Structure 1
């Protein structure tokens, strides 16, 4: 397609500048994600991020525009990494219980790694549970997206005959989520030894209650 004669043609220098801008934004976002994991989303500020990255406040501001936009960008980046590490690899497992088990265990592994730094899904819920606005909406949307994937996986396991026919997918999700919240609380706040193993055993207990009886 021939460019319109009045439209500026892209230049190599322009492309390089755009690429460099994307790289800079990605670096800032990576630093912001690390800060949010340690200090929470409310601990993020343009000034602190500028200090951490060695940039000027105006330089950071140019990439995000506001503290609120920065927080939302961090939530989206966290969710994208969560999907890459937990959700998408689990989809390679067979439909049904193998996929559900993979999703839960990868979720458990990620939370276990985040015990020292903190889970943005969980810490963010504490920070924004009673604070309506775009940041809370973005965080809730990401969590609901993950929950939707889990419910779909539970439903598939029921349809495959791996779980009892009357399995309530939402109820099972509630119980699995409860195990992860308990793990985060006991391991991060109480420093209870063996919390990860208890979360794994809890999952096995839930499966025993919902698992379909062997045919024949």
Structure 2
């Protein structure tokens, strides 16, 4: 990797870490320049505008999310094992050291809720991609006979993400030490309700 690309990657990584704390609107180019030992003009040499940097940070966040959450789950067998791994990765993303308990996507969902534009469009697409991934894994589990045939994948995805949102609020805002345990109990109940009858019986033996 050439020096210019290394520098660009370092800028994106630092901006990703900062944005997870303060959001995009409060992301200061002056502070970012100082953190990367660069001048503002040096930053603009790599990015045409603040929006271009924000787009690059969102792309980086999506890559990290796939590395932490999606790809490890996809290495598991199709079915409940893969779905469980997907949730475990999601919890790791929301609460472990990889994000320091800060999810950039959730932070930006509030910041850009009523703010149309390229960043909002990309953020919405990221959430749609995540929901589609959950739905695909659920559909596979139904095909494997491990979840009920009448389950609604979109409803399951909605509730699974809701557990994640509740977890982060309890963990990061309220500082509840039992947030992880409560989130996992909630998911276990959701999964148990979705299991095929034979699988549910086996799980309780």
State the TM-score, normalized to the length of structure 2.
0.92
Match of 2:172 in 1: 188
**Aligned residues of 2:16 and 2:57 also touching (Cα < 8 A):** yes
2:107 alignment partner, one of 118, 123, 136: 123
Structure 1 residues 108 and 138: alpha-carbon distance in aligned structure 2, compared to 1, 3 A threshold: same
**Aligned residues of 2:95 and 2:101 also touching (Cα < 8 A):** no
Match of 1:10 in 2: none
SS at match of 1:43: coil
**Aligned residues of 1:76 and 1:142 also touching (Cα < 8 A):** no
Tell me, yes or no, if structure 1 residue 24 matches structure 2 residue 39: no
Structure 1 residues 199 and 141: alpha-carbon distance in aligned structure 2, compared to 1, 3 A threshold: same
5+ residue gaps in structure 1? 1-17
Distance 1:80 1:141 in 2: 14
Match of 1:163 in 2: 147
Distance 1:158 1:42 in 2: 42
Match of 2:137 in 1: 153
**Aligned residues of 2:74 and 2:82 also touching (Cα < 8 A):** yes
Q: Structure 1 residue 51: deviation in Å?
A: 1.7
Q: Structure 1 residue 131: deviation in Å?
A: 0.4
**Aligned residues of 2:101 and 2:168 also touching (Cα < 8 A):** no
Count of aligned positions? 199
Q: Structure 1 residue 117: deviation in Å?
A: 4.8
SS at match of 2:30: helix
SS at match of 1:25: helix
Distance 2:50 2:85 in 1: 36
Distance 2:102 2:47 in 1: 24
**Aligned residues of 1:129 and 1:136 also touching (Cα < 8 A):** yes
| Higher Rg of the two aligned structures | 1
Match of 1:42 in 2: 25
**Aligned residues of 1:37 and 1:117 also touching (Cα < 8 A):** no
Match of 2:96 in 1: 113
Tell me, yes or no, if structure 1 residue 62 matches structure 2 residue 48: no
